[in-house]
Amino acid sequence: MLIVTAHQRTAMWSPLLRQRVISRIRDGYPQDAEILGATQIGQVVDLGIARAAEHGFVQGDEVEKYVDLMFLFGSYFDEDPLQPWAAHILNDPALTSPWIRITNLEGTAARQLLAMAGPEGEHYRAALVRVRLLPYDELVRARSGDPSVDLQRLLYQLYPEQYRLLSRTGLAALESRAEVVAAQYGMASREGRTVLAALMFLVGSHVDRDPLHPWAAAVLAEPLEPGAKVRALHEAAMARLDRYRLVNRPGSNRP
C-alpha cells in the first residue's frame, strides 16, 4: 500500500492549491486575468497564498476567499490604512478560528463594497470614468493654499462614496504614505504626491509594490526627471484604465 507522508501531502497540495486559486481568478476576474497575463496572475496568487498563510489561512476555501479580497481591495489590503476593518479582524485575539476570521472578513468586505461601489459596482465605475476624463493639469491643479485641503477636495470629486467612508486617520495615513513613496522615487513635488495619492485612493495604498499593478512599479523604477516621472505614471495609469471595459463591468472587478 502506498503511504504518503505529511511532507509529501504538502508538496502535492501546494501546486493543486495554486492551480485552484488561479482557476477561480480566471473565472471571477476575466478582464484582470486577460490583462495581467498568466505569469503575473501566478505571481499575485503566489503572494496571496503566502500572505494568507501568515494569517493562518491554509485551507483551499480560506485561501480562495483571501485572494478574492486582494483583487477587490489590493494585494496588501490587510495593512492598508484605507481598509482598517481588515487589520482589526485579522488581529482580533478573540477570533481564534481561521474560518471565523475569513468569514468575518468576507462579510465585512461585502458590506464595505455595497456602500462604496454600489450594488452593481456603479459608483466605482463612475469614479473610474471621472478619473479618465479629468485632464492631468486639472488633476494636479492647486485648488487652495493648503495641499491637504486640495487633496481632500480632489478625492471627494473623484469618488465621493469611498471618501465618505474614510476616517480622518485614514486620510492622514493616505497623505503620509503618498508623501513617503513620492520622496522614495524622486517625485516629491505636490504633483507627484497628488497623483500617487489618487492612485492609492482608487486601487490601494500599496500600489507602488502591488503585483496587481506592475505598471506602477515599472514607471517608478525608471530614471526619469521628477516632473516627467509624474506624467509618465499618470499616462501609464490612464493606458491601463483604457484596457478595461467600464460599462456593464461586474462590481466585483477592479482595475
220 falls within a domain:
yes
Q: Are residues 197 and 230 part of one domain?
A: yes
The answer to whether residue 23 sits within a structural domain is yes
Same domain for 127 and 97: no
Residue after which a domain boundary falls, among 95, 117, 139: 117
pLDDT digits (tens, 9 = 90+) for 184-236: 999 999 999 999 999 999 999 999 999 999 999 999 999 999 999 999 999 99
pLDDT at residue 144 in the model: 87
Please, what is the Cα angle at 82 between 184 and 242, to 5 degrees?
75
Question: Residue 3: its pLDDT value, please?
Answer: 53
Residues 16 and 113 in one domain: yes
Note whether residue 249 is domain-resident: no
Q: What is the pTM of this model?
A: 0.89
Residue 246: the pLDDT is 54
Residue 145 is predicted with a pLDDT of 86
Whether residue 248 lies inside any domain: the answer is no
* Structure confidence at residue 227 (pLDDT): 96
- Do 83 and 146 fall within a single domain? no
| 131 belongs to a structural domain | yes
Same domain for 127 and 224? yes
Q: Which of 117, 132, 164 is the last residue of a domain?
A: 117
The answer to whether residues 110 and 19 belong to one domain is: yes
Could you tell me if 169 and 209 lie in one domain?
yes
Alpha-carbon dihedral angle through residues 108, 35, 162, 133, given to the nearest 10 degrees: -170
Same domain membership, residue 33 and residue 105: yes
**By CB neighbour count within 10 A (0-12 exposed, 13-18 middle, 19+ buried), where does 191 fall?**
buried
Mean pLDDT, residues 55-63 taken together? 94
Q: How sure is the predictor about 11, in pLDDT bands with cuts at 50, 70 and 90?
A: very low
Q: Same domain for 96 and 207? A: no
Q: Classify 164 as helix, strand or coil.
A: coil
195 part of a folded domain: yes
Question: Are the CB atoms for 189 and 182 separated by under 8 Å?
Answer: yes
Q: Which domain holds residue 105?
A: 9-117
Q: Is 4 a member of any domain? A: no
Helices (H), 141-250: 147-158, 160-163, 168-184, 190-203, 214-220, 226-242
Q: Residue 255: is its pLDDT beyond 60?
A: no
C-alpha grid cell, residue 71: 483583487
Shared domain for 136 and 87, answered yes or no, is no
SS (H, E, C) 185-200: CCCCCHHHHHHHHHHH
User: 113 and 160 in one domain?
Assistant: no
| CA–CA gap between residue 39 and residue 61 (Å, rounded) | 23
Which is more confidently placed, 255 or 147?
147
Q: Is the pLDDT of residue 245 over 90?
A: no
Task: Kindly state the cell numbers that stand for 116.
Answer: 462604496
Instruction: Read off the DSSP letter of residue 118.
Output: -
Residue 149 has pLDDT above 90, yes or no: yes
In the chain, the number of structural domains is 2
**With 60 as the cut, is the pLDDT of residue 35 above it?**
yes
What mean pLDDT do residues 67-75 have? 97
Mean pLDDT value across the chain? 91
Domain end: 51, 82, 117, which one?
Answer: 117
In the prediction, which pLDDT does 15 show?
A: 86
pLDDT level of residue 249 (50, 70, 90 thresholds): very low
Query: What amino acid occupies position 84?
Result: P
Residue with cell 509594490: 209
* 251 in a structural domain: no
Do residue 109 and residue 138 come from a single domain? no
30-37: list long-range contacts, CB under 8 Å, 24+ apart.
31/244, 31/245, 31/249, 31/253, 31/255, 32/71, 32/212, 32/253, 32/254, 32/255, 35/240, 35/243, 35/244, 36/212, 36/214
Structure confidence at residue 199 (pLDDT): 97
